[in-house]
Structure 1
Amino acid sequence: MKANDSFPQRIVCLTEEPTEVLYALGEENRIVGISGFTVRPPRARKEKPKVSAFTSAKVDEILALKPDLVIGFSDIQADIARELIRAGIEVWISNHRSVEGILAYIRRLGAMVGAYEKAERYAQRAEAHLEEVRRAAAQLPQRPKVYFEEWDEPIITGIRWVTELIGIAGGDDVFPEHARESLAKHRILADGSEVVQRAPDIIFGSWCGKRFRPEKVAARTGWESIPAVRSGDLHEIKSPIILQPGPAALFDGLDAIHAVIAHWSEKASRI
């Protein structure tokens, strides 16, 4: 790193997506602290100190790292941000919730560290992948109705970028009206019978922080009549590749969803 580098040189990442982006851009040397939930890239966990969870952080340890920028995500980290700002630290809290928002985030973060051209190439690579999957999905013989469950108690439906990725992958989210709700509390289903009524062909589960239990979902009252339950099409999408509003969702998350949808579509076309 050049001594006269005017861009941030000591960055703490409170969530995984800025860590993943900075590593992808070859700017990982700027990172001095990461979230304890970080799994991508795997080497980050070995190389960087873990100083935060999602709703809490070791503020004293963050301050000891003398960061010139702390990056977080969403209103849920507002209290952490406020405490750091009061301590004189510059904080950027992003709040993107869509596929376009993720692409813009990559470009914006790249510009903030003086790596705009690398970020632009990376964003274009993601856009090309989205288009490749979209074209493949357009060739599928049938589009399934898809239910995505982000949490089980209470039942929470998928956030906007998840719904958009389902559409790109060849499916139709059965709760599209919930996708625009950025806060999880506004995506809670008061009654699980709503899922029964919408009769999804595929159920995806991604319970952040714990393993998806398809047998538990299938045993819910009345859910035995759902096409996805009858056919056994209940699938886990690991939360690190779909519930982080970063590159993982645009690559591995999208691919995982598309693989299940493509298999279902080919199977349905033979019935």
Structure 2
Amino acid sequence: MGPRRIVCLTEEPTEVLYALGEQDRIVGISGFTVRPARARREKPKVSAFTSAKIEAILALRPDFVVGFSDIQADIAAELVRRGVEVWISNHRSVDGVLDYVRRLGALVGASARADAYADALARGLEAIADASAALHARPKVYFEEWDDPLITGIGWVAELVRIAGGDDVFPELAAEPLAKARILADGAPVVARAPDIILGSWCGKKFRPEKVAARPGWSAIPAVRDGELHEIRSPLILQPGPAALTDGVGEIARIIRRWADRRA
């Protein structure tokens, strides 16, 4: 049977449960949820990412709360102290997302549907990887998660860039799970690594290519010289859930494909 009254503190469990047809179990969601769109209309919003309305959550009488990462540790701890069962996942890779889908499905008694959904997501990634393997060239890609300070892309983002046909220029930083470990002191390392494409996804605000291009010394970067600065909207890529493995990687693949076609 599994839990019947679930509060989702981030978007990815909401998207997964809707995809599995288990949305009736959800009684509260994150205010940052945009997928699926109907969830915002149907479910009360009771949390942000680093904060939550604890009393509002308790009023919903949840028997299970799902959150993500150390960033939500304080929320989880308070709910546990108040007698609520909480699951904090900490997946930060493509395989981790697929496993997360399977585990969440198992927790609500929908293992078969979750396995089928995860398999379909994996097949979609394989199709993108196969198409990308046929490209005439692979671009070097700089993914910027934040602009002040400069924060480079996390692990699953670097993996999706590779699947889409590019190579992340900071693979050693992508392996770092915490944002503070991916901060660049200045833009010099980006200039030195000369990315062909710059992807920006500034969580909570619009990416400004003109501001990036105007940074000191960045005019020498191939991506800036060629006008290859693109926004990937944060809901599509910065949460380790189905959105990143479908629309997020799809958008990256389209940008890389256009870049490669112009150089064929």
**Same-fold status (TM-score > 0.5):** yes
Greater than 4 Å deviation, 4+ residue runs: none
How far is the alpha carbon of 1:268 from its aligned partner?
Answer: 1.7
SS at match of 1:114: coil
**In the alignment, structure 1 residue 34 sits paired with structure 2 residue 29:** yes
- Is there any run of 5+ residues in structure 2 with no aligned partner, and where? none
Give the AA of the match of 2:107.
M
- Residue by residue, what CA displacement relative to the aligned partner does 1:186-220 show, whole Å, maximum 9, x if unpaired? 00001211100000000000000000000000000
Q: Distance in 2 between matches of 1:143 and 1:135?
A: 13
The aligned runs of 1:216-235 (5 Å cut-off) are 216-235=211-230
Q: Distance in 1 between matches of 2:100 and 2:165?
A: 25
- What is the aligned partner in structure 1 of residue 171 from structure 2? 176
RMSD, aligned CA: 0.4
- What is the aligned partner in structure 1 of residue 97 from structure 2? 102
Q: Distance in 2 between matches of 1:244 and 1:47?
A: 21
The aligned runs of 1:50-69 (5 Å cut-off) are 50-69=45-64
Q: Distance in 2 between matches of 1:219 and 1:255?
A: 28
- Residue by residue, what CA displacement relative to the aligned partner does 1:149-203 show, whole Å, maximum 9, x if unpaired? 0000000000000000000000000000001100000000012111000000000
The aligned runs of 1:8-19 (5 Å cut-off) are 8-19=3-14
Q: Distance in 2 between matches of 1:195 and 1:180?
A: 17
- What is the aligned partner in structure 1 of residue 40 from structure 2? 45
| Alignment size in residue pairs | 264
Give the AA of the match of 1:96.
H
The aligned runs of 1:189-208 (5 Å cut-off) are 189-208=184-203
**In the alignment, structure 1 residue 244 sits paired with structure 2 residue 236:** no
Q: Distance in 2 between matches of 1:49 and 1:268?
A: 49
SS at match of 1:191: coil
- Residue by residue, what CA displacement relative to the aligned partner does 1:70-110 show, whole Å, maximum 9, x if unpaired? 00000000000000000000000000000000000000000
Q: Distance in 2 between matches of 1:217 and 1:91?
A: 40
Q: Distance in 1 between matches of 2:141 and 2:225?
A: 14
Give the AA of the match of 1:11.
I
- What is the aligned partner in structure 2 of residue 133 from structure 1? 128
Give the AA of the match of 1:255.
G
SS at match of 1:140: coil
Q: Distance in 2 between matches of 1:191 and 1:216?
A: 15
How far is the alpha carbon of 1:64 from its aligned partner?
Answer: 0.5
Give the AA of the match of 2:51.
S
- The match for 2:20 among 20, 25, 46 is 25
- The match for 1:253 among 245, 248, 251 is 248
**Identity over aligned pairs, percent:** 71
SS at match of 1:182: coil
- What is the aligned partner in structure 1 of residue 83 from structure 2? 88
